[in-house]
Amino acid sequence: MTFTPGITSAAERGLIFAIAGQNLYVVREPRIAIPEGPATPLYLGALDGVACFAQLVEDDTAPAGEPVALRQLFGALTDEEFAVAGRALGLTTWDRDHRYCGRCGGPTEPSPTERARTCARCSFATYPRLSPAVIMLVERDGKCLLARNARTKMPFYSTLAGFVEVGETLEEAVAREVHEEAGVVVSDIRYFGSQPWPFTSSLMIGFTAQWASGEIHADPTEIMDAGWFARDAIPVVPPKLSIARELIDAFVIGV
């Protein structure tokens, strides 16, 4: 399947990705009439030629059926559909949160030519914003550093991660996060891959790194428990949805 992003479409029918919170109404009927007026959905692009729209669901506009948490749809939708659903989540949230200008407070309108909302009063344009976050697997003598996050109830160990701060490089962010969260100094920081993470409007940028010095001294506000795990002793880890799991799987098979 091929997705071609776009800003506007004359299509009167298409696929609607209806978003409620972080849930998605799976609209399996691919040819739904697009409503007009203030509730007009955001055009996302075309998936194999089928127009795809995103719509934020308020209580009175909920389609029939039960919403499903987007995270649970990984594997149930095709990878391409899941990626479009992620765009739908990110863009409907951005669209809702930028109805008014951050500079002068005037009302904004969607631009007809680019993915932006423009202030009707001062012309200031607001674009969808991503928060870059680094996520990294640190290796030491054939073991990898995994930790249980103190702020989630998820019963698994994962790689460390954190948002990039203004003014730092990605590599500096990796080194800082590992040191802040686990008290360890790393070297040989190498790019691994990236993944859009629409749940927090993030782009996750994955790295591998080598332990250089220091023993684990976890920050208790961030980390419940952390340790070095051998390939044959990996604890419960995140599902395949995440780049964290890709990093761990790559470590386990030794690539």
Segment lying near Zn ion (by CB under 5 A), choices 101-109, 180-188, 200-208, 241-249: 101-109
- Residues of this chain, 173-232, that bind Zn ion according to CB under 5 A: none
CA separation, residue 140 to residues 35, 46, 143, 144, 229 (Å)? 56, 45, 5, 6, 9
Between 39 and 122, whose beta carbon lies closer to Zn ion? 122
Q: x/- binding map, residues 106-135, to Zn ion, per CB under 5 A?
A: x------------x-xx-x-----------
**CB of residue 67 to Zn ion, shortest distance in Å:** 34
Q: Does 237 bind Zn ion (CB under 5 A)?
A: no
Among 71, 103, 231, 240, binds Zn ion (CB under 5 A): 103
Structure token digits, residue 205: 């940028």
Could you tell me how many residues of this chain bind Zn ion (CB under 5 A)? 8
**CB of residue 109 to Zn ion, shortest distance in Å:** 11
| Alpha-carbon Rg for the chain in angstroms | 21
Q: Does 104 bind Zn ion (CB under 5 A)?
A: yes
Between 103 and 217, whose beta carbon lies closer to Zn ion? 103
Segment lying near Zn ion (by CB under 5 A), choices 77-85, 96-104, 163-171, 211-219: 96-104
With a CB cutoff of 8 Å and minimum separation 6, the contacts of 64 are: none
DSSP letter for each residue of 153-196: -----B-EEEEPPTT--HHHHHHHHHHHHH--EEEEEEEEEEEE
**CB of residue 152 to Zn ion, shortest distance in Å:** 38
With a CB cutoff of 8 Å and minimum separation 6, the contacts of 75 are: 240, 241
**CB of residue 18 to Zn ion, shortest distance in Å:** 30
Helix (H) or strand (E) holding 93: helix 79-97
Between 96 and 99, whose beta carbon lies closer to Zn ion? 99
Among 101, 134, 223, 247, binds Zn ion (CB under 5 A): 101
Cα 5 to Cα 24: distance, rounded to the nearest angstrom: 20
**CB of residue 40 to Zn ion, shortest distance in Å:** 23
Do the strands 13-20 and 50-56 form a parallel or antiparallel pair, or are they unpaired? parallel
Cα 169 to Cα 49: distance, rounded to the nearest angstrom: 39
**Which positions touch Zn ion (CB under 5 A)?**
101, 103-104, 106, 119, 121-122, 124
